[in-house]
A and B are shown apart, each in its own frame.
Chain A
Amino acid sequence: MPPKQKDAIVVKDVGIKFAINRRRRIGVKNLLLEGRAAATGEGEYWPFRHISFRVKKGESVGIVGRNGCGKSTLLRLVAGVMLPDEGTIQVNGGVGAMIELSAGFVNDLTARENVYLISSLHGFSREQTDERFDDIMRWAGVERFVDTPVMHFSSGMRARLAFSIVTRMEEPILLVDEVLAVGDKAFRQKCGVVIDGMLSEGRTMLLVSHNENDLRRWCQRGVYLRRERPPFQGPIEEVLEMYYADEDRE
């Protein structure tokens, strides 16, 4: 009997708040005892609250919504590089996050050093990175700049290198935020082929995008984040329909 399949991502009643004022009053007592910088109540902003959804293993889910509705923040929470102020997020398996194009590049290190640094942060040994190093560089098309500090890279080169590294981490869960939107057509097509390949291997993907072609191409389901109302979830077609209907009404 096959083992019971756990969901890849379970988001339960999640919310996050930010301080509105940059120049808020900081009480040292508050900081040390409560662990927060802002005074209570006023000056808080919740981009979203009480968000719940699940992503099954091997499923691909798209997140849509207007600018500022918290899509990217939600992805960061799933990636674990931010923490929710309410609720819990359970992630079963390693995460490869393409949230920023930089993939965490350290600017004054060379491309080679960055690849080894990021790979080791993902838990790869030196030898394992050696094995895939040439592949990573070749796919990114930056073989000639292996020992150039990444601060001299164009944004396209960075994007290609970042994508190349993260996709070769072989993490079972992929988080993608809009990154495909920046590149030129050739780059987008190349990325598309790689994502197709990974999804066919059974990886799970959570995608934030404004590009309906991408959403239709990869996602079976969608989550539509809306202000003041719980998110609408369903098949991607219905979600997009709902989203565009709301947009047109504005």
Chain B
Amino acid sequence: MPPPESSLGLAGLRFRRLHEGTQIRSAVGQPIADRIYGIWDRRDVLRMLVDRGLRNKYANSVLGYAWSLLEPAMLVVTYFLLLKIFHRSQPAYPLFITSVILPWQWFATVVNSAPKTLRQNSRLITSIALPREIYPLADVVVKAVEFLLSLPILFVVAWIYHAAPSRYAALWPLALLFELMICVGLALLLSALNTVLRDIERGIGIVVRMMFYVVPILYPLISVTPSMRRWESYNPIVGILEVSRAVWQPAYWSGWRPFEYSAIGAVVILVGGFSVFARLERTVLKEL
């Protein structure tokens, strides 16, 4: 009868893959493609970290998943009441707000929490060699899942106001893909920078709150002056919000320009995030 250890060893070989091969730690940076392959190779870890992130979110809370619905619902109610007071109401105002505030919340929560992801996981990062990108990535995926979980709110509000998806609904998945790219790029950029520039995790909350009023959430983009509209369109988030709103209320569609900037912005931010992260990695590891 073989000893139990050897059978364990054989079972291990089946599960454990490429990271068992040759690993090179070099002063010369790895090509981005290799880094992405390294992340893909350890997607099991990514899945595990996402799982942990979601579990933590609902641990020790009575309402659990209900919070994912309650938070955005309360936001909508708050702004609805606020705007009622100022008499700036649009038709079907709750739908007007809900359709854009959910994608906005996804973006805002990522930018708020991403800077801390490397520092919070410093013990794991400094004791186990894994692609470091995995930690901010996992945070983005957790926030994306929370976004998806909050979508029932949107569908309920749309149903209440008898809104049917317009032809812009075909663009929506693309808009969300752009948002994912922007979130990943920013999370990589901010998490790496924050280890050397601790001010980021403090300051980013203020920036996001200010941005909330600069992007067309409480007002439609078509209502501002053309020059303002042009400036706002440079923000890649704006095009994503415009599409999200036009899905239910196509009358507010202000043209293609913002969405074009979203497409360009998504690619630039994603590539920029990966390359800055790769450049900073050496410094980051010394600072953790």
Contacts and interface: CB of A to CB of B under 8 A. Distances in A.
Interface of A: 6, 14, 18, 26, 28, 31-32, 34-37, 76-95, 97, 99-100, 102-106, 117-118, 120-125, 128, 131-132, 170
Q: How large is the interface on B (under 10, 10 to 19, 20 to 34, 35 or more residues)?
A: 35 or more
23 contacts: A31-B197, A31-B280, A32-B276, A35-B281, A80-B25, A81-B285, A83-B26, A83-B281, A87-B26, A89-B26, A90-B22, A91-B22, A95-B129, A105-B123, A120-B44, A121-B130, A122-B128, A123-B19, A123-B44, A124-B15, A128-B11, A131-B8, A170-B8
Given A102-B123, A132-B8, A31 B15 contact: no
Give the interface centre of B25, B45, B196 by most chain A CB atoms within 10 Å. B25
Contacts of A35: 276, 278-283
Interface of B: 8-9, 11-12, 15-17, 19-28, 44-45, 48, 52, 123-130, 193, 196-197, 276, 278-283, 285-287
6 closest Cβ contacts across the A-B interface? A35-B279, A80-B129, A104-B127, A88-B26, A123-B16, A89-B25
A103 B27 contact: no
Contacts of A76: 126
B126 A121 contact: no
Given A35-B282, A120-B48, A83 B27 contact: yes
Contact of B126 (A32, A85, A100, A170): A100
A87 B22 CA distance: 16
A77 B278 CA distance: 17
B263 to A, nearest CB: 23
B123 A117 contact: no
Contacts of B25: 77-78, 80, 83-84, 88-89, 91
Contacts of A85: 27, 282
Contacts of B193: 31
A75 to B, nearest CB: 11
A82 B287 CA distance: 10
Given A87-B27, A90-B22, A118-B128, A170 B282 contact: no
A31 B8 contact: no
Given A26-B197, A35-B283, A124-B15, A90 B127 contact: no
A86 B28 CA distance: 8
Contact of A123 (B15, B281, B285): B15
Contacts of A132: 8
Contacts of B128: 81, 97, 104, 118, 121-122
A83 B191 CA distance: 18
B103 to A, nearest CB: 28
Given A102-B123, A128-B8, A121 B282 contact: no
Contact of A36 (B22, B27, B278, B283): B283
Contacts of A34: 279
Contacts of A95: 23, 129
Which of B11, B17, B28, B126 has the largest number of chain A CB atoms within 10 A?
Answer: B126
Given A32-B276, A89-B24, A123-B19, A97 B48 contact: no
A89 B197 CA distance: 29
B129 A125 contact: no
A108 to B, nearest CB: 10
A94 B16 contact: yes
Contact of B23 (A26, A80, A123): A80
A113 B77 CA distance: 39
A188 B139 CA distance: 40
Contacts of A81: 125-129, 285
